[in-house]
Structure 1
Amino acid sequence: MHGGAGPKSTWSGLESLTEHWTVLHVYRRGFDPSPPPLRGRQDFLVDADDLTDVFREYRPHVVAHSYGVLGTLLAAADHPETVRSLTLIEPPLYFLLPRDPEVAHLEQLGNTVLTDGLDADPSALREFLTLAGSPISDSDRLPEAAVTAIERAHNSRLPGQAHPNLSVLRAAGIPALVASGRHTAGLERICDALAEELGADRAVHPGAGHFVPAAPGFADRLHTFLSSVSSHSDNP
């Protein structure tokens, strides 16, 4: 389940998984070939509703990135029996660390861009894009792909409103892996806190920024994790 970037960008680097696993890409609303988003905005609550049907049909090992983690966790917490495992990559779960100043900065920055879109302060746009994996220098105009991404994200439901019931997932014994790219201290601490809440394995793979799936060693780490939990999770 991708986040603000499409599946092609998000999952680059994981092509080798197809040698061992059946890979199903979910396209969030607003990403072709899926239909436009409801009410014209990205919304993790809608993502959760959509994923509920997918999880019931396939009972998958779920790999989710960034904003896509929010709907994933909400759907999985409502019906934990419908997922085999969870791999969660750099989610904006700000509620986990409400008094952390760096996490608060990440939330404020994201809220500014999601609320104001292209009208946000240029420095905020550039910082946001850098954190999101699309660094832009001060002298550069925003490339078309970045403009499209910001326009798509404009007026999204804010991540700080997401409060998935993590205790349900831990109690259900769902195997989990939490991964990050060691490029932003606030995201590292969010991932540490999430791993602790879920009793999850923790992986850090620098080298690709926010797009951790492309980082050296991550594909092998994910394959190892999935292989280690597949026999356990194959039981209904």
Structure 2
Amino acid sequence: MDEVVVVRAGSGPEILLVHGGAGPRTTWGALSVLTDRWTLAYVHRRGYPPSPAPRARQDYEVDALDLAPLLVNRPHVVAHSYGVLGTLAAVATAPDSVRSLTLIEPPLAFLVPDDPDVARLEHLGDVVLTHGMDTDPAELREFLRLAGAPVDDGPLPPEMVAGVRRAHGARLTSRARPRLDLIRRARVPVLVASGDHAAAHERICDALAAALDGERAVHPGAGHFVAAAPGFADRLDTFCRTNEN
């Protein structure tokens, strides 16, 4: 089997959940309260069991190909971080295939040119994806903190090291140029959410919401893992209900 695995829970219309660098359980665990009203479809990107390993590396262009067949029943789609890149690429090719699109803290620095905080975030992401555990330790920890990892001054936990190694060699986020114009032109309902923990993420999310003519939400309390923040599940439920057509 070469297809990615989707694990479904709950009943009702489908919300397709596309994680980023962390796995589905870490990213979406707090949304289980929605299963009385919605079917939550947890995508496991390549390299995240039980899905197969990547053909070569983590790659948002491959993610887009994997996601395209999952849109045939017009789900609501929620994507986080690196997972937003493949999601946008898939939706841009068939924007009428989704009911709504919720995007959480994506690495889309090109939307905010000449901003030093955003440029720093992009630099750190590229360095870590290029060098993995050979990244300068201070820069690696800085990036991991921005990515929501609970990093202290001690040795990195084994699961964190495994995550860095899994991301090593991935297609660089700085090269992503999703066709936002196609999504906006199709008038896809969009919600862009952030966690109010880093200026760079806030500015990128502001620019993305403007580019897609979308709604904007800020939910502090869980860092980069905004889906776990107070109030987010209720906001997502309301947004999806409003666009259930």
Report if TM-score (shorter chain) is over 0.5: yes
Q: Which amino acid aligns with 1:53?
A: P
Which digits, 9 at most, give the CA deviation of each residue in 1:53-84, with x for residues without a partner? 1112x321000000000000010001111111
Question: In structure 2, the residue corresponding to 1:199 is in which secondary structure?
Answer: coil
Q: Which residue of 2 is the match for residue 68 of structure 1?
A: 83
Question: In structure 1, the residue corresponding to 2:39 is in which secondary structure?
Answer: coil
Question: In structure 1, the residue corresponding to 2:191 is in which secondary structure?
Answer: strand
CA-CA distance at 1:132 after TM superposition: 1.1
Q: Which runs of 5+ in 1 are unaligned?
A: none
Q: Which amino acid aligns with 1:228?
A: T
Q: Which residue of 1 is the match for residue 195 of structure 2?
A: 181
Greater RCO (CA < 8 Å, at least 6 residues apart): 1
Counting matched residue pairs gives: 228
Q: Which residue of 1 is the match for residue 126 of structure 2?
A: 111
Q: Which runs of 5+ in 2 are unaligned?
A: 1-17
Q: Which amino acid aligns with 2:241?
A: S
Q: Which residue of 1 is the match for residue 10 of structure 2?
A: none
Cα distance between partner residues in 1 of 2:150 and 2:122:
18
| Larger helix proportion of the pair | 1
Which digits, 9 at most, give the CA deviation of each residue in 1:79-113, with x for residues without a partner? 11111110000000111112111110000011111
> Does 2:177 correspond to 1:163?
yes
> Does 2:83 correspond to 1:51?
no
Asked if 2 retains the 8 angstrom alpha-carbon contact of 1:126 and 1:135, the reply is: no
After TM superposition, the runs of 4+ consecutive aligned structure 1 residues lying more than 6 A away are none
Cα distance between partner residues in 2 of 1:136 and 1:166:
34
* Identity between Structure 1 and Structure 2 (%): 61
Question: In structure 2, the residue corresponding to 1:23 is in which secondary structure?
Answer: strand
TM-score, normalised on structure 1?
A: 0.95
Cα distance between partner residues in 1 of 2:186 and 2:101:
12
TM-score, normalised on structure 2?
A: 0.92
Q: CA RMSD in A?
A: 0.8
CA-CA distance at 1:135 after TM superposition: 2.6
Aligned ranges 1:68-147 → 2 under 5 Å = 68-138=83-153, 140-147=154-161
> Does 2:205 correspond to 1:191?
yes
Q: Which amino acid aligns with 2:173?
A: P
Cα distance between partner residues in 2 of 1:24 and 1:71:
16
Cα distance between partner residues in 1 of 2:188 and 2:34:
21
Which digits, 9 at most, give the CA deviation of each residue in 1:11-68, with x for residues without a partner? 02111111110111111000001110011x1000000011111112x32100000000
Question: In structure 2, the residue corresponding to 1:25 is in which secondary structure?
Answer: strand
Question: In structure 1, the residue corresponding to 2:44 is in which secondary structure?
Answer: coil
Question: In structure 2, the residue corresponding to 1:107 is in which secondary structure?
Answer: helix
Cα distance between partner residues in 1 of 2:189 and 2:105:
17
Q: Which amino acid aligns with 2:203?
A: R
Cα distance between partner residues in 2 of 1:191 and 1:63:
14
Cα distance between partner residues in 1 of 2:43 and 2:29:
15
Which digits, 9 at most, give the CA deviation of each residue in 1:167-225, with x for residues without a partner? 11111011010000000001100000000011111000000000000000000010011
CA-CA distance at 1:120 after TM superposition: 0.5
Q: Which residue of 2 is the match for residue 35 of structure 1?
A: 52
Q: Which residue of 2 is the match for residue 26 of structure 1?
A: 43
Cα distance between partner residues in 1 of 2:102 and 2:217:
10
Cα distance between partner residues in 1 of 2:152 and 2:38:
39
| Larger strand proportion of the pair | 2
